[in-house]
């Protein structure tokens, strides 16, 4: 079958492209990506050589081009990874988040309706549930937790989720939605916590921790997320949400200290900076549903996953050096200087 993946030149999408090409030798993978600041063709160089892979540089909000691609490729399954994904950028300038994350999703679903697909899968996030208090470790996000967003990013993702279910109910589009916790692993853009700290520590630069570093995130190795999506598109029930997470909660400060230890860098590099506006306190997923229904469980333990990830950044310095030498410098100065 033909699987059309949007956002495949980004972090999770590219890991998914490689996962699919490896795991499903009979499937074709078509990637649609606008190559924004977060998309990188070098990330897909290993896939470009594969005759089962096709790449289109196209914006998902460009209705005409998206429809043309659907007419040509006739995808059986569409998986929407494409998004503006960084919370801090959404606080600075929300508009592009609404355009890509909401209107882009609409265009894709309109194309799915016109050309017919077996499944439209929306890659969503645990951030649509808002946050949990730090002093209630007994609470977790289930699929029934109300939507209660904090940032323009999470609001745009929640709006897209609602639209996905509107297309299911109104037009009968066969949809599924996954809401995953924080991912980490290879090809993670160095504006996000883990790669930013690795890249800065390697250059002996300050490690900017927001607030007191006590906010908690629930980390999942990216390959485990890819496996979950693969299971949902093949065996998940249409019209359902599946939460994806591996019960691996960690405070930001503990992650940063661990990275210092692994790289042999002093904790004196850590600098506490002004907190993120509206900063969510704690995310924690209850993955019971995907475990019981689809037999999914996370296979990579954090101790191993973080070591593999750090090693990947050590082995692939060309990949991130190229990124941080361009526009990224301006972004970094704007976000972190005088913070």
DSSP secondary structure code for residue 132 in this structure: B
In whole angstroms, the minimum distance from the beta carbon of 234 to ligand TDX comes to: 23
Burial category of 292 from C-beta neighbours within 10 Å (exposed 0-12, middle 13-18, buried 19 and up) = exposed
Strands 270-273 and 207-210, how do they pair? parallel
Q: Which of 18, 19, 33, 126 is catalytic?
A: 126
- Residue 84 vs 131, nearer CB to ligand NAD: 84
**Angle 300-227-241 (CA atoms, 0-180°, nearest 5)?**
115
Per-residue burial over 202-238, b if 16 or more Cβ lie within 10 Å, else e, is beeeebbbbeebebbbbbbbbbbbbbbbbbbbeebee
* Alpha helices in the chain, H assignment, sequence order: 11-23, 45-48, 63-73, 87-92, 95-98, 105-115, 152-171, 193-202, 222-235, 252-263, 288-294, 302-315, 317-324, 328-336
Q: Which two tokens stand for residue 99?
A: 């355009």
Q: Which of 19, 56, 129, 153 is catalytic?
A: 153
In whole angstroms, the minimum distance from the beta carbon of 153 to ligand NAD comes to: 8
Strands 207-210 and 53-57, how do they pair? unpaired
Measured distance CA(217)–CA(281) in Å, rounded: 8
Residue 312 in 3-state DSSP?
helix
Residues lying near ligand NAD in the complex (CB under 6 A) = 6-7, 9-13, 33-36, 38-39, 59-61, 81-85, 100, 104, 123, 125, 157, 180, 182-183, 189
Binding-site partner at residue 167 among ligand TDX, ligand NAD, none, CB < 5 to 8 Å by type: none
Stretch that binds ligand TDX, among 36-44, 81-89, 170-178, 298-306 (CB under 6 A): 81-89
Quick one: how many helices (H) and strands (E) in the chain?
A: 14, 13
- Residue 120 vs 210, nearer CB to ligand TDX: 210
Q: Which of 18, 19, 56, 127 is catalytic?
A: 127
Q: Does 276 bind ligand TDX (CB under 6 A)?
A: yes
Stretch that binds ligand TDX, among 109-117, 202-210, 292-300, 311-319 (CB under 6 A): 202-210
Catalytic (active site) residue 221? no
Cβ–Cβ under 8 Å, residues 45 and 18:
no
Binding-site partner at residue 189 among ligand NAD, ligand TDX, none, CB < 5 to 8 Å by type: ligand NAD
Closest CB to ligand NAD: residue number: 10
Q: Does 86 bind ligand TDX (CB under 6 A)?
A: yes
Binding-site partner at residue 243 among ligand TDX, ligand NAD, none, CB < 5 to 8 Å by type: none
In whole angstroms, the minimum distance from the beta carbon of 93 to ligand NAD comes to: 14
Binding-site partner at residue 33 among ligand TDX, ligand NAD, none, CB < 5 to 8 Å by type: ligand NAD
Catalytic (active site) residue 153? yes
Catalytic (active site) residue 171? no
Measured distance CA(336)–CA(49) in Å, rounded: 39
Q: Does 224 bind ligand TDX (CB under 6 A)?
A: no
Q: Which of 296, 179, 143 is nearest to 234 (CA)?
A: 296
Q: Does 108 bind ligand TDX (CB under 6 A)?
A: no
Active site residues per annotation: 126-127, 153
Q: What is the binding site for ligand TDX (CB under 6 A)?
A: 85-87, 125, 127, 182, 192-193, 196, 208-210, 215, 217, 252, 276
């Amino acid at each position: 079958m033909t699987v059309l993946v949007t956002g495949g030149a980004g972090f999770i999408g590219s890991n998914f492209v490689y996962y699919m090409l490896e795991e499903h030798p009979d499937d074709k993978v078509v990637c649609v990506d606008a190559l924004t600041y977060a998309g990188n063709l070098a990330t897909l160089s290993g896939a470009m050589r594969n005759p089962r892979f096709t790449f289109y540089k196209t914006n998902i909000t460009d209705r005409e081009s998206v429809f043309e691609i659907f007419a040509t490729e006739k995808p059986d399954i569409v998986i929407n990874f494409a998004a503006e994904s960084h919370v801090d950028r959404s606080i600075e300038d929300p508009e592009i988040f609404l355009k890509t994350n909401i209107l882009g999703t609409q265009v894709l679903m309109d194309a799915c309706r016109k050309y017919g697909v077996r499944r439209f899968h929306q890659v969503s996030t645990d951030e649509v549930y808002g946050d949990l208090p730090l002093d209630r470790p007994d609470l977790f996000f289930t699929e029934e937790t109300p939507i209660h967003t904090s940032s323009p990013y999470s609001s745009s993702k929640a709006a897209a989720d609602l639209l996905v279910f509107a297309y299911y109910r109104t037009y009968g589009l066969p949809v599924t939605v996954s809401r995953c916790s924080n991912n980490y692993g290879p090809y993670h853009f160095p504006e996000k916590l883990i790669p930013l700290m690795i890249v800065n520590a390697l250059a002996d630069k300050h490690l900017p921790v927001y607030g007191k570093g006590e906010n908690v995130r629930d980390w999942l190795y990216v390959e485990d997320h890819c496996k979950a999506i693969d299971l949902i598109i093949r065996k998940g029930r249409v019209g359902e949400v599946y939460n994806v997470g591996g019960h691996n909660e960690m405070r930001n400060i503990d992650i940063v200290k661990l990275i210092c230890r692994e790289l042999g860098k002093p904790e004196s590099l850590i600098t506490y900076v002004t907190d993120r506006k509206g900063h969510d306190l704690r995310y924690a997923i209850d993955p019971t549903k995907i475990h019981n229904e689809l037999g999914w469980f996370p296979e990579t333990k954090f101790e191993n996953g973080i070591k593999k990830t750090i090693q990947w950044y050590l082995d692939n310095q060309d990949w991130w050096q190229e990124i941080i030498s361009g526009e990224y410098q301006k972004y970094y100065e704007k976000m972190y200087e005088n913070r």
